[in-house]
Amino acid sequence: MSMILTRLHDDIGTIIMDNPERRNALSSKMVDEMLHALEVLEKGKARVIVIRAHAGAKVWSAGHDVNELPIAGRDPLAYSDPLVTVLRSIQASPLPVIAMIEGGVWGGACDLALSCDILIGSPTASITMTPAKIGVPYNASGILHFMGIMGVNIAKEMFFSAQSLTAERAEKLGILNHVVPADDMEKFTYELAGNIAKNSPLSIKVIKEQIRLLANAHPLSPHTFERVQGLRRLVYDSNDYAEGINAFLGKRPAVFQGE
Ligand code: YXS
């Protein structure tokens, strides 16, 4: 059964996450289907892509599929992880990608939404970063991504507290480009997409790539890179990492010991 539906209408491609039973958790199967949909739309007539959940979703996406997080001792967000792979694909896509968000965005799905170029939310949209709740160290590219978009203080608050950011606050912070009543969101999103589709695709592609390259221009010394990797290993080698995952799967609050 497909977890991703793909549409193309008037040069606008739509990728619909359609696995409500699992709250659109980004399993490797869903990510593979999303990567395929991106490739088909990029090779076809699409000039803009909209990524959304099914209409009326209470949860846009529940983030990384916790069942697929590796056991303690292995990097939970390695370069080749399916979620990390699709983030890079969206960021590197030559097409502008709009995230149309209804409902909660959790964990790695926040990075998926923020990897899109424009974020449009309904008043029910919320953003919750969960690594500290699950005992995950997150990863350098993701943390840098959050710092760049929302600033260090807000990124710290989101990562440390794992509290939800409302649509209203996310718009004030510039994380959401627009908050639009749910009934108007589809019309608003596709009108914006249509306006973008009328502009020069080559100019847009080149400007998007320039912004990505300049935003990612953070030289890291080998020492800094190795220090970051060592810090992350402390977490994913820890008992807390295993406790976080087991608590989620066991549907009980995690009890972290800090080791
Ligand atoms: O019990 P069943 O079998 O029906 O399955 C339940 C949930 O276990 C499942 N599900 C998930 N399965 C795997 N990975 C997930 N992320 C996930 N989320 C949900 O879907 C079925 C329905 O979920 P349920 O009953 O909880 O739905 P709800 O409507 O009461 O609550 C919706 C949520 C989203 C508030 C709730 O499902 C939830 O809190 N999900 C986990 C959100 C989360 O912590 N995501 C972070 C995953 S880890 C990650 O993304 C990164 C590694 S990190 O943490 O570093 O950002």
pLDDT tens digits, one per residue of 64-74: 999 999 988 88
Rounded Cα gap, residues 156 and 86, in angstroms:
24
What pLDDT band is residue 93 in, cutting at 50, 70 and 90? very high
pLDDT at 38: 98
Greatest CA separation found in the chain? 55
Residue 65 lies in a domain: yes
pLDDT at 1: 84
Rounded to an integer, the average pLDDT of 119-134 is 97
pLDDT at 56: 86
Ligand 1 atom nearest 129 alpha carbon: 56
Average pLDDT score over the chain: 95
Residue 191 lies in a domain: no
pLDDT at 171: 98
CA angle 212, 45, 121 (to 5 degrees): 55
This prediction's pTM: 0.94
Task: Write the CB contacts of 242 (distance below 8 Å, at least 6 apart in sequence).
Answer: 71, 72, 135
Ligand 1 atom nearest 111 alpha carbon: 56
Rounded to an integer, the average pLDDT of 245-259 is 94
Percent of the chain with pLDDT over 70: 100
Element (H, E) at 12: strand 12-17
Rounded Cα gap, residues 90 and 114, in angstroms:
10
H-only helix segments in the chain: 28-43, 82-92, 108-115, 131-134, 140-150, 152-161, 167-172, 182-197, 201-215, 222-236, 239-249
Residue 143 lies in a domain: yes
Catalytic residues: 64, 108, 138
Lowest mean pLDDT among 101-115, 119-133, 175-189, 229-243: 229-243
Q: Which of 18, 121, 90, 6 is nearest to 61 (CA)?
A: 18
pLDDT at 219: 86
Residue 243 lies in a domain: no
What pLDDT band is residue 217 in, cutting at 50, 70 and 90? confident
Residue 175 lies in a domain: yes
pLDDT at 59: 98
Residue 205 lies in a domain: no
Rounded to an integer, the average pLDDT of 195-219 is 93
pLDDT at 85: 95
- Structural domain boundaries enclosing 117: 4-183
Rounded to an integer, the average pLDDT of 153-179 is 98
Residue 165 lies in a domain: yes
pLDDT at 201: 93
Rounded to an integer, the average pLDDT of 49-68 is 95
What pLDDT band is residue 92 in, cutting at 50, 70 and 90? very high
For a ligand 1 pocket test, name from 106, 128, 164, 245 the mutation site with the most ligand atoms within 8 angstroms of its C-beta. Answer: 106
Q: From the CA of 65, how far away is ligand 1's center (Å)?
A: 8
For a ligand 1 pocket test, name from 19, 23, 29, 136 the mutation site with the most ligand atoms within 8 angstroms of its C-beta. Answer: 23
pLDDT at 73: 84
- Domain total for the chain? 1
Q: Is 149's pLDDT higher than 90?
A: yes
Q: Does 136 sit in the ligand 1 pocket, CB within 6 Å?
A: yes
Rounded to an integer, the average pLDDT of 230-251 is 94
CATH number at residue 40: 3.90.226.10
24 secondary structure, DSSP code: T
Cα–Cα distances in angstroms (integers) from residue 109 to residues 130, 199, 252, 255, in the given order: 10, 29, 22, 24
Q: Does 63 sit in the ligand 1 pocket, CB within 6 Å?
A: yes
What pLDDT band is residue 118 in, cutting at 50, 70 and 90? very high
Residue 50 lies in a domain: yes
